[in-house]
Structure 1
Amino acid sequence: MPLLVDCSNCKTPLQLPPGANSIRCAICHAITRIHHDPRSLPPGPPPPHSFYPPPPPPPHRAPVVPPSSYHGALTPPPIAGRKKAVIIGITYRKSRYELKGCINDAKCMKFLLMNRFKFPETEILMLTEEERDPHRIPTKENIRMAMAWLVAGCRAGDSLVFHFSGHGSQQRNYNGDEVDGYDETLCPLDFVTKGMIVDDEINDTIVKPLPPGAKLHAIIDACHSGTMLDLPFLCRMNGSGQYVWEDHRPRSGRWKGTSGGEVFSFSGCDDDQTSADTSALSKVTSTGAMTYCFIQAIERGHAGTYGNMLNAMRAAIRNTDTSSGGGVVTSLLTMLLTGGSGAGLRQEPQLSSNEGFDVYRKPFSL
C-alpha cells in the first residue's frame, strides 16, 4: 500500500511506492530522499492542504507491553505461584488404636513449612483432634474436603504439600490396578464407623488434577504407605544408594499420573512394612519416626537432592537405638485386625513419583 511523505521543499504530500528510497515532487520537482524506513515511524498528522481525509481514530485497545520490558527474554518471566498445605495428625485418643506423636508431627511440619519454606499460615489447613473448628477435626469427610481444597484453583507455579501422620492399612484390591493385589488406605479419626480412605480416591483427588508447572509433595507417616498415592513409579534403593524405578502402572491401563504437574511422595515405609510412633529419635517426646527424620534431613543440610534426602532418612532410622526409647508401631491397627506383630524401627522410607528421574541430580525443594 503506498505511503505518504511530505515533499522536502513544498511540503506537498506524496505517495511513496513500496520499497522506494526517493521520490520527485510533481509540483516543484524537488527530490525527497528517504533515509529511514517510514514504516518504522509513527505516522504524523496530515498537513492542512492534504487531499486525503484524516484517518479514523484507532479503536480502544489494552496497552501493549513493549518487548524491551522482558529484558531480552524470549518468554515472559514465570509467575510466582502459591504455597498451600494440608497437615493431618490423628492420635485416635481414648480408643484401642491410640497413638502418641501424631499431633506433634503435625505441629512440627507446620513450623517447618512456615519458617523454612515460607508457606503462609493462612494457606495451611491443619486437621487434628485439638482443633476447635468442627470442620478441622480429621474425620473422613473433613479430610476429603481438605484434599479437594488443596488442589482447588491450582495453576502453574503452585507448590502444594500433603502431610499425614496416623494409622495406615491395606485392603484387598479387586479391580486389578495394584501390583501386590492390595489397596493402601489412610485411617481417618472415624474410620471404625465411616471407613478408610483408599489410595484410588487419594490419587483421583490430589494427583490427577495437577496441571503443568505445579508440584505436589506428600509426606505420609503411616504403615503400609509405600504407594499410598498410587503413583506410577516407585524408587527401589538398596543400602548402597543404588536405585531403579519400579513400574507400578496398572495392567488395566488406568492412568495414575497427573495432568502435567509433578508429584513426589515420601512415605514412612514400604507397603508391607510398619511405621513407628516412638520417642527413640527425639529422646524428649513421641514422634513419627518418618516425620522426624524428614525434618532432620532438611535441618541438617542433607536434602540437596531427592536421593540425598531419601538416604539421610533411611540412615537415621536404621541407626536408631530403640533400647531406651522403645517403639510403639503405628501398625497397632493392623496387629489388632490381622494378628500381626512388630517391634523396633524396621521400616524403610520410600520415594514414589509420577515419573522417573535422576534422584541424585534433581534438587529437592518444597
Structure 2
Amino acid sequence: MLTEDETNPLKIPTKENIRLALRWLVQGCQPGDSLVFHFSGHGSKQLDNDMDEVDGFDETLCPLDYETRGMIVDDEINATIVRPLPQGATLHAIIDACYSQTVLDLPFVCRMNREGYYTWEDQTRSPYKGTSGGLAFCISACDDNQTSVDTTALAGNASTGALTYCFIQAVQNEPGLTYGRLLNSMRQVIRGAKTGGLRLNGPIASLVNKALFNTEITQEPQLSSSETFDIYAKQFIL
C-alpha cells in the first residue's frame, strides 16, 4: 500500500514506486491467483501517438511526482499487469480517477444505459491488449471523457473518491451480487447525490451540494474486461 502520508520513501506513491508495485503484483502469478489493484488519485489523458486508442487519447494515472517524472500511461499499465496474466489467474482493477474507463486498455468496454441495458463494445486495436489467458476486469470511476468527484462519507473530514465509497457500500450491503448489479448500484448512489443521498466534493459536486438541482453529475462508474460475459449472471468475486 502506497500513500502520500507515509514517511518510508519506498511507500510513497511516486512514479517509480507505483511501477515497482505493479511489477510486484504480477510477479510469480499462477493459475488460481486473484490479484487486486486499487488506485484512488488523479487521472489525466494525453494524445495517443501509437494509434491504438479509439478516441485518440491515452489515459494516464498521476503519481505524486508526475510534474517532474511524468504520468503512468495506459499502455504501460496494460503491458505490466494485463498482458502477463496467465490462464486461470484473475485481475480486478478498481480505478478511482478522472478519465479512467480504458486506463487498463482492455479490449472490451461495457456500454450501459440508465435502464441497465448493456452491450459490449470491442475496442481491439493493434497491438494486442488482452491477457495471456487470464481474466482481467476494470471497474473505473467514470468514462474517458468524464471527471470523478470526492466524498467525505468514508473518513470524516478527509476526502476519498466517490467510486471507492460506492464500491465498498455495494459489496458490503449485497453479498453475492453480480457485475451488473454492482455497476447499477454504484451508479444509483452517485445519481442520488443530487437529492442529498451522498455529499460530494469537487468543482462539479459543489454545485450539486448547493442544491442547484439542474446541474447534472456526469460521472458514471464503468466496467471493462478482457472478454465479454453476461454481467447479470456472473457473480462478482475478488
Determine if the alignment matches structure 1 residue 160 to structure 2 residue 45: no
Contact 2:162 2:200 in 1 (8 A): no
**Structure 2 CA distance for partners of 1:226 and 1:329, relative to 1, 3 Å:** farther
Inter-partner Cα distance in structure 2 for 1:189 and 1:131:
12
Question: Aligned match of 2:219 in 332, 337, 347?
Answer: 347
Question: 1:326–1:344: structure 2 CA closer, same or farther, 3 Å change rule?
Answer: farther
RMSD: 1.8
Aligned residues: 226
Instruction: Give runs of ≥4 in structure 1 deviating > 3 Å.
Output: 281-285, 321-326
Kept after mapping to 1: 8 A contact 2:29/2:89 = yes
Tell me which amino acid in the other structure corresponds to 1:354: S
**Bigger radius of gyration among the two:** 1
Is 1:328 aligned to residue 202 of structure 2?
Answer: yes
- Post-superposition Cα deviations, 1:114-166, rounded to whole Å, max 9, x if no partner, equal xxxxxxxxxxxx00012232111100000000000000000001000000000
Of 206, 227, 236, the match for 2:81: 206
Aligned pair in 2 of structure 1 residues 262, 290: CA closer, same or farther (>3 Å)?
Answer: same
Which runs of no fewer than 5 residues in structure 1 stay unpaired?
1-125, 331-342
What residue identity is the alignment partner of 1:304?
A: L
Q: Which amino acid in 2 is paired with 1:165? A: S
Report the equivalent of 2:61: 186
Query: Does residue 223 of the first structure (1) align with residue 98 of the second (2)?
Result: yes
1:309 aligns with 2:182: yes
Taking structure 1 as reference, are residues 315 and 206 closer, same or farther at Cα in structure 2, changes over 3 Å only? same
Deviation at 1:282, TM superposition (A): 5.0
Partner of 1:19: none
Higher relative contact order (CA 8 A, sep 6+): 2
* Amino acid in the other structure paired with 1:179: V
In the TM superposition, what is the alpha-carbon distance from 1:302 to its structure 2 partner?
6.2
Deviation of residue 325 (structure 1)? 3.8
Taking every aligned residue pair, what percent have the same amino acid on both sides? Answer: 62
Give 3-state SS (helix, strand or coil) of 1:128's partner. coil
Shift of 1:321: 3.5
**C-alpha contact 1:234 1:351 (8 A) present in aligned 2:** yes
Contact 1:327 1:344 in 2 (8 A): no
The 2-side partners of 1:271 and 1:354 are apart by 18
> CA 1:322/1:220 → structure 2, altered by over 3 Å: closer, same or farther?
farther
